[in-house]
Structure 1
Amino acid sequence: MIMKHTLLSILLVAAMAVASSVQSMAQSNPAQARAILDKTSKVIGHKSGVSASFTLNNPTTGNVSGTIAVKGGKFNARTPQAIVWFNGKTQWTYMKKNNEVNISTPTQAQQQMMNPYTFINVYKTGYKMSSAKAGSSYEVHLVAQNQKRSIQEMYVTVNSNTYVPSRVKMKHNGRWYTVTISNFSAKKLSDSLFAFNSKDYPSAEVIDLR
């Protein structure tokens, strides 16, 4: 009986040691997680610009697919329902159904809904980070130190060879939104791509919401 208890104790200790080892391997230190996103930031932040296709899973409205072009803090997103231009400060949203353009100054969360690459700026301050290896990808987990931030929690999946992100999952107001990214490409983009030109939409109603 004593031997059985001793053997059981040894097995339990061994199992706990293995579990602890697996957990420590799966969750990297914050410095490694930051290093992954630093490399990803350089890839996305290509000085000439980048483009990609995306699908946003919105828990309220369902899936929305489209394309996005990014250059620094600017972006242009296009879906079957709308076109969004953002020049780093002002956002123009053209709603095709209503033939109207809304002008606004978007919050961080609003930018994130249309530009999945916003995380390349927000991760640098105010987030606790860890990362795990999943097949040929890294998954970086970010949790806001201040839960009043618009993006409270985030998972960023990045290819471990190219550091191109393939998925961004974010928590906003208690709800999870997931953006799947494909067809990533670095290319030269004109700055004019990121600002609304009224000459291209002469009949559209312009509504300033700032």
Structure 2
Amino acid sequence: MKKIVFALSLIFGLLSTTASQAQSAKDVLDKCAATVSSRDGVKADFTMSSAQYGNASGQIAVKGKMFHATTSMATMWFNGKTLWTYMSKNEEVNVSNPSEAQLQVLNPYNFINMYKNGFSYTMTKTDKAYNVHLTAKDQSKRVKEMFITVDKATYHPTEVKLLQKQKWTTFTISNLKTAKLSDSEFRFNSKDFPSAEVIDLR
């Protein structure tokens, strides 16, 4: 009988610890998301390293679900529904309506629209950062795992790492600043690219 009671108490203790850790990790992500979710918008520098998509670096502006990213190879505008991707090499603009999983690879801040549902959490800490590990409860999801590093002092995300189709993509983020951004910044304007060929993939 004592063995059973001990085993049950051990199980309940482990469950309580796991639940507490998950709640703590979610609290960190909630605060992190709040720093990115400025009503006026934020801007930052980023680098991307991906076995599937290659490497890139540039700047990104984010306002709610909208973003505008610029790299040496491409410029992207997303207004919350439609994505315009301008390829400078061939002067083409591809127009599409991407899924949340597809947006995750394009926008390092898209985790703020994903983490609240369908993921379990664990977290470790260093002197300067929280390291949150998210695992999809449904492993058929396109994004199966994410690691998000959050600065302890500012709650700014400094690294987002995600697993899709057994391949990792890593974003390193720096110089995050709030900015007053117009909604027009997140829409492609054909007047700015008069020679571009528009290809509608919707």
Tell me the TM-score normalized by structure 1. 0.85
Report the counterpart of residue 68 of structure 1 in structure 2.
60
Report the counterpart of residue 90 of structure 1 in structure 2.
82
Amino acid at match of 1:180: T
Amino acid at match of 2:161: K
Structure 1 moving runs of 4+ over 4 Å:
none
Q: 2:22 aligns with which of 9, 24, 30?
A: 30
Please say which of residues 54-63 and 176-185 is displaced more in the overlay.
54-63
Report the counterpart of residue 189 of structure 2 in structure 1.
197
Report the counterpart of residue 208 of structure 1 in structure 2.
200
- Residue 109 of structure 1 and its aligned partner are, at CA, apart by 2.5
- Name the SS of the counterpart of 1:188 in structure 2: coil
Stretches of structure 1 that go unaligned for 5 or more consecutive residues are: 1-23
Report the counterpart of residue 38 of structure 2 in structure 1.
46
Report the counterpart of residue 121 of structure 1 in structure 2.
113
Stretches of structure 2 that go unaligned for 5 or more consecutive residues are: 1-15
Alignment RMSD (CA, Å): 1.7
1:80 aligns with 2:72: yes
Partner Cα distance (1:90, 1:169) in 2: 24
* % same residue: 51
Partner Cα distance (1:61, 1:73) in 2: 22
Amino acid at match of 1:31: Q
Q: 2:150 aligns with which of 136, 142, 158?
A: 158
Given that 2:52 and 2:167 are in contact with CA atoms closer than 8 Å, whether structure 1 keeps it comes out as no
Tell me the TM-score normalized by structure 2. 0.89
Partner Cα distance (2:36, 2:42) in 1: 7
Aligned residues: 187
Q: Any idea what the Cα deviations from partners look like across 1:2-36, whole Å, max 9, x if unmatched?
A: xxxxxxxxxxxxxxxxxxxxxx99x9611000000
- Residue 143 of structure 1 and its aligned partner are, at CA, apart by 0.2
- Name the SS of the counterpart of 1:116 in structure 2: coil
- Name the SS of the counterpart of 2:153 in structure 1: coil
Q: Any idea what the Cα deviations from partners look like across 1:68-116, whole Å, max 9, x if unmatched?
A: 0000000000000100000000000000001010000112222111210
